[in-house]
Structure 1
Amino acid sequence: MAQTVLAAGSGLPSGVQGAADPHFSGVLRAFAALYPARQLGGGALSVYIDGRPVVDVWMGCSDRRGEVAWTADTGAMVFSATKGLAATVIHRLVDRGLITYDAPVAEYWPEFGANGKSGITVSDVLRHRSGLAHLKGVGKDEVLDHLGMEERLAAAPLDPTYGTPAYHAVTYGWLLSGLARAVTGMGMRELFRDELARTLDTDGLHLGRPPVDAPTVAAQTLFPQSVIPTPIFDFVAPKVAGLSFSGMLGAVYFPGITSLLQGDMPFLDTEMPAANGVVTARALAKMYAALANDGVMDETRLLSSELTRGLVGEVDLSPDLNLGIPFSYHRGFQSSPIPGFLPGFGHIGLGGTIGWADPETGSSFGYVHNRLLTLMLFDMGSFAGLAPLLSNAISAARRDGPVEVPDFGSRFQGPGQTSPGDLAASSD
């Protein structure tokens, strides 16, 4: 007997919108429990099996006051989960023969070869081994100037940490965008739309703030809005961050960093391909669905079979110089160092957002939300509770036959395009 799709008011937990395969009812109860009050934000979860959507749900609020409901087209800033999208853009360029993994970056971006960096390869950059993780004392104005940051990294000297795994928390995106710009003449904001959103036929993939006429609307990140004086930290942090071996602080800190998440979130008004992607869970899961299924999504090839197979890397337990713990990276994607936990690859973002693909089961998922610093202090690890439930539900759905859900959200829209049908779908 065919199973009925769970829907709002008909099987989904109270407050949850969208639809889901009944095998995921336990996952949805856990998901709903993460948003017990309107003032604690909102989020969305999407799951694909064999390239077909089986979960597409959302709940909660997208604003700080808890007054604006999350919708099918609400996007969240996903912090470092953006890195997986930027890496996929590079893989698309490799597939077309514009870039080779083992070639020096300077072969395509001649300015990058300055000051001893001529040997750094594309693969080194993708694997966080270029030695260029630290921000070297830049301020807020410099960080918001993405072209200036690309030039600064191109002119930087070779660092002693070159070749060692060291998480490039912020600089990673500018390294990839400088490389992509050198071979295409286009910035990453445009490439996200052209290479990913257009190819996958979804509006839900943006770098930075979506245009005002876009169906995708950015949620406000929940972050303290009051300015609390911290004179000792403000005095010490820049000095520590400027040291050669300042670890993660040197890779992420710059004066004024918190102000970029306040008010209308200036963080979204630049191109930071390591951190400021604004995406829907659906679009994130859809991209990883292609990577989990031989590079194909909806009969459209995102990546070649050969390249897609090469995205699965061996687990490397070498401690990361900045994170202090093992974190395997292969061609721009993370894999779990814990055997049996989260098989496959993808990328996690600050706060616990995540996009993931598992080629063994042909499954993928995307989880996004707008919480960063709230009373829900376990936000960063909140997905850990969903992961085993998801794994079990995916296995059960594959065994019994997955139940496909309706296609929510807006399809790709280029500049100036509007579609009444798409807008109607997004208002659900």
Structure 2
Amino acid sequence: MHEPEHHASPAPVIEGHCDPRFGAVRDAFASNFRERDELGAAVTVQIHGETVVDLWGGWADAARTCRWERDTLVNVWSTTKGVTALCAHLLADRGLLDLDAPVAAYWPEFGAAGKEALPVRHLLSHRAGLAGLREPLTLEEFYDWEVTTARLAATEPWWEPGTRSGYHAMTYGFLVGEVIRRITGRLPSAFLRDEITGPLDVDFTIGLPEKEADRAAELVHPRAASAGEQAAVFAQLAPAAQAALANPLVGAAQANSPEWRAAELPAANGHGTARAVATLYGVFAGRGRSGDHRVLSEQAAERAREGQGACRDLMLGAGFAHDTECALGLWLSGPNSSYGPNPRAFGHDGFGGSCGLADPESGVSLGYVMNRMGPDIADDPRKMALVEAVYAAL
């Protein structure tokens, strides 16, 4: 949907806490509203587990009738993937999942169509060649876990697995998530709640319980984009990229719906606060620790950022002027500094702008969430302004 035009809107009230040392982050956050068309947003920065920035402001709806509150939740799109990866790494750390074992060892049906030897690490690193389904997928089918996972198990890869990365925008959650389900008997949302967010008291869910709907911000398309314009762009993509990014085509309207919120979409429908995102990505930044809790061993936390080979991503290459490198469920900052100047920092962006960041060397974790979606798949200017301000203050 398009937001109604507002002329001479008052500057939003920014609330929360910011350590004086990180005043530049507050300034960048305020500038996002003045200069980068922010509607409602929140940012949290933790250094070695200590919260030094926790800010929120703006509006939770397009009509600007509801202010963004401390506990406002928002769909963070693919920032969810880093949280789903955390679940997989927890299973690997417990000896229940071997990242080098064939996926079919856990999910026998997956061995069809020449995939019998495809290892789990290819799912995490977007190198499985299963970026999308060839046959059209309706929204109703997409929301059906059994239907979508069965089709993925039966399909053949678009390219030779392991040779290149190609962003599995929506299928990632079903692929990694079904491995989690086969091992634990629980869908990723339940495993996350029982094993991670519950014990850590973190306000983040895959999907959104109906009882929390009143806390959810309304996602808003960029002013310059509409569903029709978005579809026209996707129509120009190669078949594999169309399958990955537009089968089915989803945007703000779908993500605001009860059906989306009720579905199990571990690639794209995580809902949380910036505080929650910073805490979850903080497990990686803390080398496996979150406060007094050890979630992962140091070895498991380090393994999450093992690069799997830099290349021009087969699905996203046209949108980047540089190679990128996926680790095991997250992306390395690399020479383009997507997650700050440390090339070994890592994280994940969400469609439209959100971000989770982990930098073990500096102890930084960051969560940024917002409801006005920008046009970028990654490295949204609002996020980059915040990241740059954080590192300038260190």
In the alignment, is the contact (CA less than 8 A) between 2:125 and 2:308 conserved in 1?
no
Cα distance, 1:179 vs. partner? Answer: 0.5
TM-score, normalisation: structure 1: 0.79
Residues 9-28 of structure 1: CA deviation (Å, up to 9, x unaligned): xxxx9711111111111110
SS in 1 for 2:177: helix
Q: Which residue does 1:366 correspond to in 2?
A: 367
Q: Which residue does 1:331 correspond to in 2?
A: 328
Q: Which residue does 2:204 correspond to in 1?
A: 205
2-structure distance, mates of 1:290, 1:40: 28
For the aligned residue pairs, the C-alpha RMSD in angstroms reads 3.0
* 1:240-259 alignment, distance < 5 Å: 245-254=238-247, 257-258=250-251
Aligned match of 1:47 in 32, 36, 45? 45
Q: Which residue does 1:175 correspond to in 2?
A: 175
Q: Which residue does 1:382 correspond to in 2?
A: 382
Q: Which residue does 2:293 correspond to in 1?
A: 300
Aligned match of 1:58 in 56, 59, 78? 56
Residues 57-106 of structure 1: CA deviation (Å, up to 9, x unaligned): 11011112111111111111111111100000101111111101100011
Q: Which residue does 1:291 correspond to in 2?
A: 284
In the alignment, is the contact (CA less than 8 A) between 2:346 and 2:357 conserved in 1?
yes
1-structure distance, mates of 2:140, 2:228: 21
Q: Which residue does 1:118 correspond to in 2?
A: 116
Cα distance, 1:177 vs. partner? Answer: 1.0
2:350 pairs with 1:349: yes
Q: Which residue does 2:311 correspond to in 1?
A: 318
Change (3 A) 1:262 1:173: closer
Aligned residue identity for 1:199: P
Change (3 A) 1:76 1:301: same
Gaps of 5+ in 1: 1-12, 396-428
Aligned residue identity for 2:242: L
Q: Which residue does 2:274 correspond to in 1?
A: 281
Following superposition, which runs of at least 4 residues in structure 1 exceed 6 angstroms of deviation? Answer: none
Change (3 A) 1:16 1:259: closer
Stretch of structure 1 that moved more, 312-321 or 16-25:
312-321
Residues 380-399 of structure 1: CA deviation (Å, up to 9, x unaligned): 33211222111122x1xxxx
Which structure is larger by alpha-carbon Rg, 1 or 2? 1
Q: Which residue does 2:153 correspond to in 1?
A: 154
Cα distance, 1:158 vs. partner? Answer: 3.9
Q: Which residue does 2:107 correspond to in 1?
A: 109
Aligned residue identity for 1:150: T
Q: Which residue does 2:6 correspond to in 1?
A: none
Aligned residue identity for 1:392: A
In the alignment, is the contact (CA less than 8 A) between 2:60 and 2:371 conserved in 1?
yes
In the alignment, is the contact (CA less than 8 A) between 1:73 and 1:216 conserved in 2?
no
Gaps of 5+ in 2: 1-10
Residues 322-370 of structure 1: CA deviation (Å, up to 9, x unaligned): 1114221111110123255622111111112100111101111100011
Q: Which residue does 1:272 correspond to in 2?
A: 265
Cα distance, 1:196 vs. partner? Answer: 2.3
How many residue pairs get aligned? The number is 372
Q: Which residue does 2:8 correspond to in 1?
A: none
SS in 2 for 1:35: helix
Residues 90-132 of structure 1: CA deviation (Å, up to 9, x unaligned): 0111111110110001101111111211111111111111110
Change (3 A) 1:171 1:17: same
Q: Which residue does 2:70 correspond to in 1?
A: 72
Change (3 A) 1:27 1:259: closer
In the alignment, is the contact (CA less than 8 A) between 1:76 and 1:368 conserved in 2?
yes
Cα distance, 1:246 vs. partner? Answer: 2.2
Cα distance, 1:265 vs. partner? Answer: 5.7
2-structure distance, mates of 1:90, 1:228: 35
Aligned match of 1:98 in 76, 96, 107? 96
Cα distance, 1:45 vs. partner? Answer: 0.5
Stretch of structure 1 that moved more, 20-29 or 251-260:
251-260
Cα distance, 1:159 vs. partner? Answer: 3.6
Cα distance, 1:316 vs. partner? Answer: 4.0
TM-score, normalisation: structure 2: 0.86
* 1:387-426 alignment, distance < 5 Å: 387-393=387-393, 395=394
Change (3 A) 1:116 1:278: same
Quick one: percent identity of the two aligned structures?
35
Aligned residue identity for 1:281: A
Q: Which residue does 2:7 correspond to in 1?
A: none
Change (3 A) 1:16 1:258: closer
In the alignment, is the contact (CA less than 8 A) between 2:73 and 2:273 conserved in 1?
yes
Q: Which residue does 2:138 correspond to in 1?
A: 139
SS in 1 for 2:368: strand
Cα distance, 1:195 vs. partner? Answer: 2.5
2-structure distance, mates of 1:256, 1:315: 28
Change (3 A) 1:296 1:135: same
In the alignment, is the contact (CA less than 8 A) between 1:222 and 1:370 conserved in 2?
yes
In the alignment, is the contact (CA less than 8 A) between 1:196 and 1:205 conserved in 2?
no
Change (3 A) 1:259 1:88: closer
